[in-house]
């Protein structure tokens, strides 16, 4: 406590200096307002005057001794003892404004230190209920992050600076050896429209059950991991891909990956009847995927806060190139959010949080979701069975928050009857980019080889009732 009093005594004169500097040179107001808030001032009188300065500035009014006194006189909540004398003294005190940036930093640092002391006291006095320990820990991590990120930087930039930075980025993209600037999906037609999964983007992959959304997400994950490995061979790095699987165990996912990569069916009935050549191929595939930087969390009881916290922790030591969450419908809200009165409100909170995760960690986040039954009611053929944004289950907030929304749906070929006679496990799937905030939308045909959980690109297929289903902008 004595140390706190000493720090307050040291910072109070600096606060007075800064207010005096603003009154004598209003050109520094922008910097002060951008980096400080009234709560950052330990002296309540200086906090009140600074608050008045903010309000005058917001209203585009002149900041002077006269306007400040006039404002305080008409707003009782701003008043304090002898406010007229205090303001006049500060206004008439001649000071140099050369140190104002140092003064702003010192005031902010002192404010952060006070918040840290209060936070430390809160940790000491909190009842650490072990049944809610994960949530308590998450809340503490969040509060700590808020405190440590409290220092604001000047994010307002002139068009000249913006254009120069954009030109550098554009030149880097143009001269880049690879066409894809984001994390590659491994499918050239998809990457041609999205330029890969871009850092900071929330991508939704939605479909009805049984259409292959988990299989495609795994294909994306493995392809991205291969790219990480290739990049690491050129320049060592800590790049990884990460999957949260709430539906399938890590061993089930591994079985699917091995089957897809070896192109050998590994269903329970087939595994016991592998030939020697197939067995060797499977073993070689296992060795190959074991070397890929893939991390999987298969905790089926995950909450959105668990996902957020784990990504934060992993991002401290690794560069995450892609996060996959399978799937949104199984995600749980933390018990601290029991006030959410319906599933739509929960899903809206989930989508907002996933977008924050993507942006704050500068990583692409791919979230799998289910569609409601509306598309089935519209008809089973051609466009009638094509999903729309309104088919997203539980919440329109998903559509609003997502940068890219994609759908998977089965395509009915013209020779449907002949295809049905063939004993083929390949299903024609339409990958529909229904929303793309940064690029074109369109349709892409994929072959889903269901028995090995593998997708492959198909350039074009005639569809009943539709002239063409090839990609469009």
Q: How confident is the model at residue 472 (pLDDT cuts 50, 70, 90)?
A: very low
Is the pLDDT at 378 greater than 90? The verdict is no
* Bridge partner residues of 436 (DSSP): 404
Is the pLDDT at 470 greater than 50? The verdict is no
Q: Looking at the whole model, is its pTM more than 0.85? A: no
Q: How confident is the model at residue 16 (pLDDT cuts 50, 70, 90)?
A: very high
Pick the more confident residue, 110 or 472.
Answer: 110
* CA pair distance 395, 348, nearest whole angstrom: 6
pLDDT tens digit sequence for 311-357: 888 988 899 999 999 888 888 776 555 555 667 777 888 888 899 88
Residue 183 CB neighbours (<10 A): 28
Strand order through the sheet with 442-449: 294-297, 239-245, 319-326, 365-370, 202-207, 404-410, 426-436, 442-449, 454-458
pLDDT value of position 381: 47
| pLDDT-above-90 percentage for the chain | 36
From residue 374, alpha-carbon distances to 76, 151, 368, 441 in Å are: 58, 48, 18, 22
pLDDT tens digit sequence for 429-461: 999 999 999 889 999 999 999 999 999 987 554
């Amino acid at each position: 406590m004595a140390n706190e009093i000493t720090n307050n005594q040291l910072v109070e004169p600096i606060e007075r200096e800064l207010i005096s500097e603003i009154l004598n040179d209003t050109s520094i107001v922008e910097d002060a307002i951008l980096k400080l808030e009234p709560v950052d001032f330990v002296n309540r009188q200086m906090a009140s005057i600074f608050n008045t300065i903010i309000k005058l500035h917001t209203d585009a009014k002149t900041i002077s001794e006269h306007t400040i006194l006039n404002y305080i006189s008409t707003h009782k909540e701003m008043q304090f003892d002898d406010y007229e004398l205090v303001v006049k003294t500060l206004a008439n005190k001649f000071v140099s404004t050369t140190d104002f940036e140092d003064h702003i930093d010192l005031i902010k640092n002192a404010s952060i230190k006070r918040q840290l002391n209060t936070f430390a006291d809160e940790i000491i006095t909190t009842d650490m209920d072990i049944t809610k320990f994960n949530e308590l820990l998450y809340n503490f991590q969040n509060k700590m992050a808020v405190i440590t990120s409290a220092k604001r930087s000047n994010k307002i930039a002139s068009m000249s600076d913006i254009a120069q930075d954009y030109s550098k980025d554009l030149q880097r993209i143009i001269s880049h050896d690879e066409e894809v600037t984001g994390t590659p999906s491994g499918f050239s037609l998809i990457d041609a429209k999205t330029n890969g999964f871009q850092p900071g983007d929330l991508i939704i992959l939605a479909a009805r059950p049984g259409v292959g959304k988990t299989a495609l997400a795994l294909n994306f994950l493995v392809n991205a991991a291969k790219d990480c490995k290739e990049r690491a061979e050129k320049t060592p790095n800590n790049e990884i891909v990460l999957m949260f699987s709430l539906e399938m165990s890590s061993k089930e996912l591994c079985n699917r990956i091995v089957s897809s990569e070896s192109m050998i069916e590994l269903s329970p009935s087939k595994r016991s009847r592998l030939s020697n050549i197939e067995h060797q191929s499977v073993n070689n595939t296992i060795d190959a995927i074991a070397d890929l930087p893939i991390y999987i969390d298969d905790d089926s009881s995950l909450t959105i806060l668990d996902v957020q916290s784990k990504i934060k922790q992993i991002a401290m030591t690794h560069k995450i190139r892609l996060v996959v969450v399978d799937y949104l419908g199984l995600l749980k809200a933390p018990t601290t959010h029991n006030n959410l009165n319906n599933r739509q409100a929960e899903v809206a909170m989930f989508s907002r949080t996933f977008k924050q995760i993507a942006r704050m960690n500068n990583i692409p986040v791919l979230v799998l979701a289910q569609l409601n039954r509306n598309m089935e009611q519209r008809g089973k053929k051609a466009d009638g069975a094509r999903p729309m944004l309104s088919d997203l289950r539980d919440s329109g907030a998903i559509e609003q928050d997502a940068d890219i929304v994609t759908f998977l749906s089965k395509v009915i070929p013209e020779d449907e009857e002949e295809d049905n006679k063939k004993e083929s496990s390949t299903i024609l799937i339409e990958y529909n980019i229904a929303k793309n905030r940064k690029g074109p939308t369109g349709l892409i045909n994929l072959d889903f080889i269901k028995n090995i959980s593998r997708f492959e690109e198909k350039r074009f297929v005639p569809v009943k009732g539709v002239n063409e289903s090839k990609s469009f902008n």
